[in-house]
Amino acid sequence: MKGMLARWERLCASSRILRFVDVNLRGVGQVMFQDNPLSGLLFLVAIGWGSYASGMPQVGWGGLVGVLAATLMAQWLRVDTAALNAGLHGFNGYLVGLALPTFVAVSPALWVYVVLGAAVSVVVMLGLTNVLKTWGVPALTAPFVLVSWLLLLATNAFSGLEGGALPPAGEIVPIDPSATDPLRFGDFVGGVLTSITQVFLKGHGPAAVLLLAGLAVSSTAAAVFAVVGAVVAVIAAHLLGAESQLVTAGLLGFNPVLTAIALGAVFYRPSARVAAYALLATVLSVIAQGAMIAAMTPFGIPTLTAAFVLVTWLFLMPGQKFE
């Protein structure tokens, strides 16, 4: 694997086109923190497959347009080359490109929205990175969340953008206890898989295998923490009495998956104390996602990865040392 990547890197060094391809693939890989073009390729294929399987090909294409627009914008802004080449300016644009066609009907204005949103995500990434480096904290997917929220909220004001697939705005209604079913094995496995695919806003369980493969080719620890995060999330959500359909659809698990990878395998070196710290944050991410679903109800917008960003920021801001 390493030899193959080294050969690819040499090819990219000699071709601006291949380098451009490489940067965009790494951009996709960075959705789960992997600075690795093969991870990105596997993620891209998994999400394209999931998009077609769920009858929404525009989501896969939206992601592709988003990551391309973001990379071009980053080049126009002459950003730091190291960050650009590591894909750090692509993942938010990719996610914006997945999110907008997920919630907004296809129209010419939607594609303007995707390009504009992806371009702006680079500006927000640069700004948040600049602010947060004061404390050594990364921007994570906050640019994606912020830009998507703005663009989705604004669909209420513009008839060219039809946000009929958005969650309905209204009053918060506490859970009906009868919506909590026993957790059967099939539901458990399904919930674990979709908790991983929902990181990319897809509920297509089988694609999780490709996503995990994409993680494993780059970092075994990341793949392990992704699975552990999903398992912990499904169990914790069920024990707290969450709505079974939400658990099974992965909608309470994708934030904990990202938190578990980030704290367990990316920003700290894995150890027993780190694992305990990451575990606490993972469980808190389940609760934070429950809170975000309620908090977003009056606004009629999806929570996206806000719970992951919030909890991971909170757990990185102390600058805690574990060694």
Nearer CB in complex with a second copy: 206/241: 241
Q: Of residues 129-148, which lie at the interface with a second copy (CB under 8 A)?
A: 130-131, 134-135
Q: Of residues 229-268, which lie at the interface with a second copy (CB under 8 A)?
A: 237, 239-243, 246, 252
Distance between CA atoms of residues 112 and 98, nearest Å:
14
Task: Assess 165 for contact with a second copy (CB under 8 A).
Answer: no
Find out whether 188 and 203 touch, Cβ atoms under 8 Å: no
Exactly one of 12, 145, 284, 306 binds a second copy (CB under 8 A); which one? 284
Q: Report angle CA 86, 62, 96 to the nearest 5 degrees.
A: 60
Nearer CB in complex with a second copy: 62/163: 163
Exactly one of 3, 177, 182, 186 binds a second copy (CB under 8 A); which one? 177
Distance between CA atoms of residues 14 and 1, nearest Å:
21
| Tokens found for residue 286 | 């389940």
Nearest CA to 151 among 170, 166, 135? Answer: 166
Find out whether 36 and 218 touch, Cβ atoms under 8 Å: yes
Task: Assess 58 for contact with a second copy (CB under 8 A).
Answer: no
Tell me the window of 94-102, 127-135, 184-192, 207-215 that interacts with a second copy (CB under 8 A). Answer: 127-135
Nearest CA to 27 among 37, 18, 17, 19? Answer: 37
Cα 284 from chain centroid?
A: 18
CB of 141 to a second copy, least distance (A): 16
DSSP-assigned letter for residue 165: T
Exactly one of 12, 161, 228, 265 binds a second copy (CB under 8 A); which one? 161
Task: Assess 315 for contact with a second copy (CB under 8 A).
Answer: yes
Residue 140's region, left for phi above 0, alpha for psi from -120 to 50, else beta, is left
Q: Report angle CA 234, 288, 269 to the nearest 5 degrees.
A: 75
Task: Assess 271 for contact with a second copy (CB under 8 A).
Answer: no
Task: Assess 118 for contact with a second copy (CB under 8 A).
Answer: no
Task: Assess 175 for contact with a second copy (CB under 8 A).
Answer: yes
Exactly one of 11, 172, 181, 206 binds a second copy (CB under 8 A); which one? 172
CB of 168 to a second copy, least distance (A): 9
Binding residues vs a second copy (CB under 8 A): 77, 109, 116, 119-120, 123-124, 126-128, 130-131, 134-135, 149-161, 163, 169-177, 179-180, 237, 239-243, 246, 252, 280, 283-284, 287-295, 298-300, 313-320
